Amino acid sequence: MQPSVTTKYPQKNGLQPPILSSRAYGWQNILVEEFHQPPGEESYQSLTEHTLCISMNCRPSRLSQAIGDRRYTSLCIKGDIAIAPAGSLLVYQWNEEDRYLRIRLKAKFLQQVAQTTFDKQVEILSEFRVRNPQIEQVGMMLLSELHNGGIAGQLYVESLTNVLSVHLLRNYAAIQPHIAVCDWMSNSIKQTLSDRQLFQVTDYISDHLADNILLSDLAELLGLSQFHFSRLFKQSTGVSPYQYVLQQRIEHAKHLLKTTDLPIMEIALRCGFSSHSHLGKWFRQSVGVSPKTFRVS
């Protein structure tokens, strides 16, 4: 069933569509949109997604909100977060220009994270104007990826989606799994992937550098949850799965540049980059020179 959205427009200035949306990038389990609205009112409801709104207002502005039968009016400033669980009606009204980031997270995915990571089914709480630096930071990283045109790819976004999900579960669940989380994290501090698991996943990455490698694929390969796999992989290698894949792609590109006469565009595609410029961006950031300069040096 599709989310239902009802928007009420002010008489003079209609509400604007998102400035940027991740819809075009096909991100899994999450939709991220940036808005800059004139004064107005909006009613919003999703039956299948939890909704987070992160204020991006640099100056305080008065905002009236209602989630279900709860109502709240206060000043709102950058970093304030509202959370509307799936199925609840979010109504808000503002009298000044409003900038915000709206993140829609699939409820089914969040329950999967809760079940596989904490062995719990949980209910997300509705919240008005809460502050959470970790969630705000993840939101800004997702926004930055929007502004960069989704250049880092699905693996990076999947990693951020998992981090966001865990912070949401740890802080805003009806049955908060704090004890389970603390026990699991304490027990996993010294855990790493076994040698067999590490070889299995790194061999898979090497064989699929040209493909769109997903975090879900890597975790499924070892029969682990995405969050559990990401933690163990970083403790085993010192870097996140996304950083490791990027490193391997750069190393493979360096090898092809020095040992073949393939066009740089062809090398980019063989290494999992979408274009010549995509390879050039990450290559210069990692190596310090362009692929062309590296080849002739």
Domain-embedded: residue 109? yes
Assess whether 252 and 284 both reside in one domain.
yes
Q: How many domains does the chain have?
A: 2
Domain-embedded: residue 184? no
Domain-embedded: residue 183? no
Assess whether 161 and 247 both reside in one domain.
no
Which residues have a Cβ under 8 Å from the Cβ of 186 and sit 6 or more positions away? none
CA–CA–CA angle 52, 87, 159 (5° rounding)? 40
Assess whether 275 and 209 both reside in one domain.
yes
Instruction: Select from 89, 98, 79, 163 the least CA-distant residue to 126.
Output: 89
Which of the pair, 69 or 188, is modelled with greater confidence?
Answer: 69
Domain-embedded: residue 150? yes
In this predicted model, what pLDDT tens digit does every residue of 103-116 receive, in sequence order? 999 999 999 888 87
C-alpha span between 8 and 98 (Å, rounded): 15
The predicted model scores a pTM of 0.78
Assess whether 113 and 228 both reside in one domain.
no
Range of the domain at 222: 191-297
In this predicted model, what pLDDT tens digit does every residue of 11-70 receive, in sequence order? 334 788 999 999 999 899 999 999 999 988 888 889 999 999 999 987 778 889 898 888
The H or E element containing residue 114 is helix 107-118
Assess whether 249 and 206 both reside in one domain.
yes
Assess whether 201 and 287 both reside in one domain.
yes
Assess whether 17 and 140 both reside in one domain.
yes
Instruction: State the CATH number of the domain containing residue 229.
Output: 1.10.10.60
Instruction: State the CATH number of the domain containing residue 37.
Output: 2.60.120.10
CA torsion sign, 72 to 33 to 46 to 41? positive
